């Protein structure tokens, strides 16, 4: 399947023509060879050029009112230590429908939010196209298996392809247009109720597509995901990271975010964690536990490195990491209870710096080592929070100073309690 989506689009792109007076794209190979079932009714609108070679293309470009749509060269965006290869081209909506039917266009990546537009918003997009108005470009990301994952434009593409398919995805009912304010006469009409020319206008509407090549580095993909979202709000770091570094490791973070003890610590109001805060906290734990001495600001780059390392982990390694997280969290909660990761100021808010310190420190112990020591550990931690060297800042020096201070005190308390218990047992 590798690169099948791009091969299809490039083959199609080499033969596309735009007729300026009707904006109809002629797709000879699409019509002659692919001929997908759902698009048979649009064949009348597809004009076959006499030849598909370069000579015929040159002749076509000299006809009045017609020009050849040439494939634009790839564009490379150079970012600091990053490289992203992007191709740009225009393709008919019908071509994207074929890719979706063949499983080569993925509109439901695991890391993407679902389809949220209502039928009125989707209908007005259809109206926009029928009016011949421009639609924002769509971004897709080429995957290792050759599929194209939607990056930006999911709501638009899903709306258009669903209307061509005839079913609105949110209720699985017939997709009939609603809420149109200009083409009012089309309200209540499904695709098959439109005229042939209107159906053709939809199927052959040229969408601008930007393809982020699979050869682009994950860090470049991360930066692009953060910047191009057109849904109204830009993605935060973890939302972009989940998409750019998607792997079984990221899937594991999703599962751990639903771990009952994690949900208890974070509170019931974070069940639907759209901001990915819980997943970023879990990723922080792994990054700090394994690579704290290597930490340097900014935190986002440090977490990107951890996400990148996680791509290569096998199933056994993922299970070990999952167990380590659960053990560390259980240990902290067994000592601090509902006040876990909170400052001693009455605030019930989780403090990320305390999350780093406590999770990393308590991951080193087995639960039985902490039994009966909760009171001593809590009392000492209240003193630690007031210590002049325990600063809740995220610079590399403060981070290591804070961690070393607390881990020494933790080890001393656990050791003292253990020795005291042994002495009592021996005396008895």
What pLDDT is stored for residue 67 in this prediction?
Answer: 30
Check: pTM over 0.75? Answer yes or no.
no
Amino acid 268: pLDDT: 54
Residue indicated by tokens 């039928």: 119
- Residue 159, CB half-sphere, CA atoms under 13 Å: how many? 22
Q: Parallel, antiparallel, or unpaired for β 138-142 and 148-152?
A: antiparallel
At residue 46, the pLDDT reads 29
Cβ contacts of 426 within 8 Å, gap of 6 or more: none
Which of 92-101, 160-169, 373-382, 393-402 shows the lowest mean pLDDT across its residues? 393-402
As a whole number of angstroms, the distance between CA 360 and CA 285 comes to 7
Mean pLDDT of 189-208: 93
Give 202's pLDDT tier (boundaries 50, 70, 90): very high
Lowest mean pLDDT among 132-146, 176-190, 410-424: 410-424
Q: Can you give the pLDDT at residue 215?
A: 79
Give the closest residue to 244 by CA, choosing from 148, 156, 141.
141
pLDDT, residue 357, reads 93
For residue 180 the two structure tokens come to 């149109």
Average pLDDT taken over every residue of the chain? 78
State the pLDDT at residue 19.
Answer: 35
Q: At residue 67, what are phi and psi to the nearest 5 degrees?
A: -140, 155
- Of 53-62, 77-86, 206-215, 294-303, which gets the smallest average pLDDT? 53-62
Lowest mean pLDDT among 45-49, 148-152, 216-220, 352-356: 45-49
The pLDDT confidence band at residue 416, using thresholds 50, 70 and 90, is low
For the chain, the residue count is 428
pLDDT reading at 44 higher than 50: no
**Mean pLDDT computed over 333-356:** 88
- Tell me how far apart the alpha carbons of residues 221 and 243 are, in angstroms, rounded to a whole number: 8
As a whole number of angstroms, the distance between CA 240 and CA 216 comes to 15
CA-based R_g, the chain, Å:
29
Which whole number is the average pLDDT over 164-177? 92
Q: Please state, in angstroms and rounded to a whole number, the distance separating the CA atoms of residues 258 and 276.
A: 12
Question: Which residue's entry shows tokens 């299970």?
Answer: 319
- The residue ranges of DSSP E strands in 24-179, in sequence order, are 24-26, 66-68, 75-79, 82-92, 105-106, 138-142, 148-152, 167-168, 173-174
> Mean of the pLDDT values across residues 50-77?
34
Residue 379 neighbours by CB under 8 Å, 6+ apart = none
Q: Where are the domains of the chain?
A: 4-10+72-228, 247-427
Q: Which of 40, 22, 23 is nearest to 31 (CA)?
A: 40
pLDDT digits (tens, 9 = 90+) for 241-287: 888 888 899 999 999 999 999 999 987 554 446 678 999 999 999 99
Strand 75-79 to 24-26 pairing: unpaired
Distance in angstroms (rounded) separating the CA atoms of residues 235 and 240: 6
pLDDT of 69 higher than 50: no
Q: pLDDT band at 2, cuts 50/70/90?
A: low
In three-state secondary structure terms, 105 is strand
The stretch 16-31 carries a mean pLDDT of: 33
Give phi and psi for 96, each to the nearest 5.
Answer: -70, -30
Please report the beta strands in 153-267, taking only residues with DSSP state E, as ranges in sequence order.
Answer: 167-168, 173-174, 206-212
Q: What percentage of residues in the chain have a pLDDT greater than 90?
A: 44
Among the listed residues 172, 166, 169, 173, the one whose alpha carbon sits nearest the alpha carbon of residue 192:
166
Mean pLDDT, rounded, for 356-369: 93
The whole-angstrom separation of Cα 30 and Cα 168 is 26
pLDDT of residue 224: 80
Q: Which of 109-123, 221-235, 270-284, 355-369 has the lowest mean pLDDT?
A: 221-235
Higher pLDDT, residue 213 or 21: 213
In this structure, are residues 176 and 117 in contact, taking their beta carbons and an 8 Å threshold?
Answer: no
Query: What would the pLDDT profile of 84-115 be if each residue is shown by its tens digit?
Result: 788 888 899 999 999 999 999 999 887 777 78
pLDDT for residue 15 is more than 50:
no
Q: Which residue has the higher pLDDT, 53 or 354?
A: 354
pLDDT-above-70 percentage for the chain: 74
């Amino acid at each position: 399947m590798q690169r099948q989506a791009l091969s299809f689009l490039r083959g199609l792109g080499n033969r596309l023509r735009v007729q300026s007076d009707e904006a109809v794209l002629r797709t000879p190979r699409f019509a002659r060879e692919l001929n997908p079932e759902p698009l048979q009714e649009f064949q009348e609108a597809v004009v076959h050029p006499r030849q598909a070679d370069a000579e015929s293309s040159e002749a076509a470009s000299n006809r009045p009112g017609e020009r050849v749509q040439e494939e634009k060269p790839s564009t490379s965006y150079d970012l600091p230590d990053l490289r992203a290869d992007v191709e740009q081209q225009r393709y008919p909506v019908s071509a994207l429908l074929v890719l979706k039917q063949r499983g080569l266009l993925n509109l439901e990546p695991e890391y993407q939010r679902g389809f949220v537009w209502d039928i009125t918003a989707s209908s007005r997009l259809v109206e926009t196209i029928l009016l011949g108005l421009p639609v924002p470009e769509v971004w897709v990301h080429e995957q290792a298996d050759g599929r194209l994952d939607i990056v930006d434009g999911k709501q638009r593409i899903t709306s258009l392809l669903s209307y061509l398919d005839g079913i609105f995805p949110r209720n699985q009912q017939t997709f009939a247009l609603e809420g149109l304010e200009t083409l009012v006469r089309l309200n209540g009409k499904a695709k098959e109720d439109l005229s042939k020319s209107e159906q053709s206008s939809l199927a052959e509407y040229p969408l601008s597509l930007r393809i982020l090549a699979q050869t682009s580095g994950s860090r470049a993909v991360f930066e692009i995901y953060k910047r191009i979202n057109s849904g109204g709000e830009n993605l935060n770091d973890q939302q972009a990271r989940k998409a750019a570094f998607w792997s079984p490791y990221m899937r594991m973070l999703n599962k751990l975010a639903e771990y009952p003890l994690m949900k208890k610590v974070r509170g019931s109001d974070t069940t639907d964690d759209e901001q990915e805060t819980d997943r970023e906290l879990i990723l922080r734990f792994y990054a700090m536990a394994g690579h704290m001495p290597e930490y340097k600001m900014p935190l986002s780059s440090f977490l990107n490195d951890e996400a990148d390392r996680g791509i290569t982990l096998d199933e056994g390694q993922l299970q070990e990491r999952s167990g380590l997280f659960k053990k560390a969290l259980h240990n902290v909660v067994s000592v601090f209870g509902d006040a876990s990761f909170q400052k001693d100021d009455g605030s019930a808010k989780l403090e990320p710096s305390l999350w780093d310190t406590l999770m990393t420190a308590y991951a080193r112990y087995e639960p039985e080592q902490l039994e009966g020591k909760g009171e001593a550990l809590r009392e000492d931690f209240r003193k630690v929070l007031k210590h002049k060297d325990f600063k809740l800042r995220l610079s590399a020096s403060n981070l290591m100073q804070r961690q070393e201070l607390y881990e020494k005190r933790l080890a001393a308390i656990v050791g003292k309690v253990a020795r005291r218990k042994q002495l009592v047992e021996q005396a008895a």
